Structure 1
Amino acid sequence: MIIGLCGDGFPEVRRSLRAVLPGAEMVDIGVAEGHVPRVDVLVPLGASIDAELMDATRPRLIQQFGVGLQGVDRAAARTRGIPVAYVPGADTGNSIAVAELAILHLLTLLRRYPAAQRSIAERRVGQPSGSMLAGKTVTVVGTGAIGTAVLTRLAAFDAVTAAVGHRSYDDYPGLTELLPPDRYRPIGELAVALADSHILVVCCRLTEDTRGLIGAEEFASMPPGGWLINVGRGPIVDYRALLDALRSGHLAGAGLDVAWREPIDPADPLLRENVSITPHIGGVTEESYTAMATAFAANATKALAGQPLSHVAD
């Protein structure tokens, strides 16, 4: 089996795949390379997979190591009869890992962790003063596996939770035990939902409908001094609007595990504001990667054997 890895990010994917597919050949496919080899399975790791790359590599399967397929030209794959599959976060612990990181960013901001570290360095005791998560109203945008995992963890902190999704409340069975119907709103009422929200957590997928979903209007709808956490994808949030909201003080801070272009430039002006940032490691844990690698290997083996695949994208 020859596995083509597209992009130079997420090095732990390579280690995890070697553990479950020791006989497979791993080939790094650079965007600027001249010769591109034939492969059995093509994996998008931050790079785009377009028609030209599909024609050059002739894969039997395009398999994401996770859920995000926004870099794959699915129409081109469909035309060529190449199945495109993903690994659901709910089945692997990935959604829990991402939810835990969202909470980490939130607590880092509320308890002013960087300032606390400066106090240690300067031998100061009893400062800075932070804010409690308990009693804060938190609106979670995206009610899939990650969103519901975030809501579950927020409940343990006695936060007042609300959610925004693309479908009706009854279409999300997992929500019924997490919040009542009056704490849920469809995406068209996002600004209304944010009117009393101290914290906005973005967990939805990046699609053409969600690109730029969170912008100046949405930030203005929030009370002054709120916080944004984004563990979805960078372009869901309008960059300029976020920077302006932070500079004006309307937002007190932002926690980001994703950026608009990855890796983010360390000199990005956004990082001079009150921003907690991690390098897209929400799902990067030993536990979730082991489970995702196992699911990946199962689908790759099925593809080579001509057997029905699991979790093929529509």
Structure 2
Amino acid sequence: MTDLPARAGVGFKAEHAKDILDGAPAVGWFEIHPENYMVAGGPRLAMLDALCRQYPVSMHGVGMSLGGEGPLDQRHLADLKRLVDRVDPAMVSEHIAWSSHEGLYMADLLPTPMTQTSLDHLVAAIDTVQSYIGRRILIENPTSYLPLPQNSIPERDFITQAARRSGCGLLIDVNNIYISAHNLDFDPATFIDGIPGDLVGEIHLAGHEQDANDQDSILIDTHSRPVADPVWALFDRLISRIGPKPTLIEWDNDVPAWSVLQHEAALAEQHLDAVRSDALEPVS
């Protein structure tokens, strides 16, 4: 297994395969959603094998329903392990969310209540995944649109306790923090400042949009735009404290030409390089 470098990465899209595999762009790494490759064979796996020969790859799950109340889907676990064994990714991560209930799968990432019961269940689910696939995973902080009335544990405490108790790491999505802070009216800088740096294994950056149909100006995590300036500022605030980390540009909807994504990755690389340069400057 190769390490995920503390550089900018991009989510891999099949429509960009030729640009990437033939052009070998100067990108640090790529992320895939394992659910897109849980097949027995064929062109998808052949394309993934070619990508893995050229770049470190991170697997970011969207369908484990890690934060649900029911048991994890054993078939999904088995499919994930088979792909992990084949690809040997540099990192595996999953969302704190639920997407299935009593055998019904919903193609969405629904919010996990932040209660002691939910925390205990999440820790057990993380333990199950890590034991099954034989490696440590990262968990991603959610996007919030409305406060859940049953919540009794602050989000930052919730994700930190889950990581400490299970031995997993954190995938910090800075865009999610910015959106949640706007929608729930809290200070994103204070949230960023309290994230334990030793737990952070990866960072995500993405674009968002305002809900045109909502008079309260709710922000939506659309992954359909360039990274917004306030999100870049929060990213700088985080990495200036904890140091450079593997950083992904997420763009999953209204996917642009490869050159646009490559430009966004280059911007992220510039931010990471600035932190490296500051760390090398002598103290007078």
TM-score by length of 1: 0.28
Which protein has the bigger helix share? 2
Indicate the structure (1 or 2) with the bigger Cα radius of gyration. Answer: 1
TM-score by length of 2: 0.30
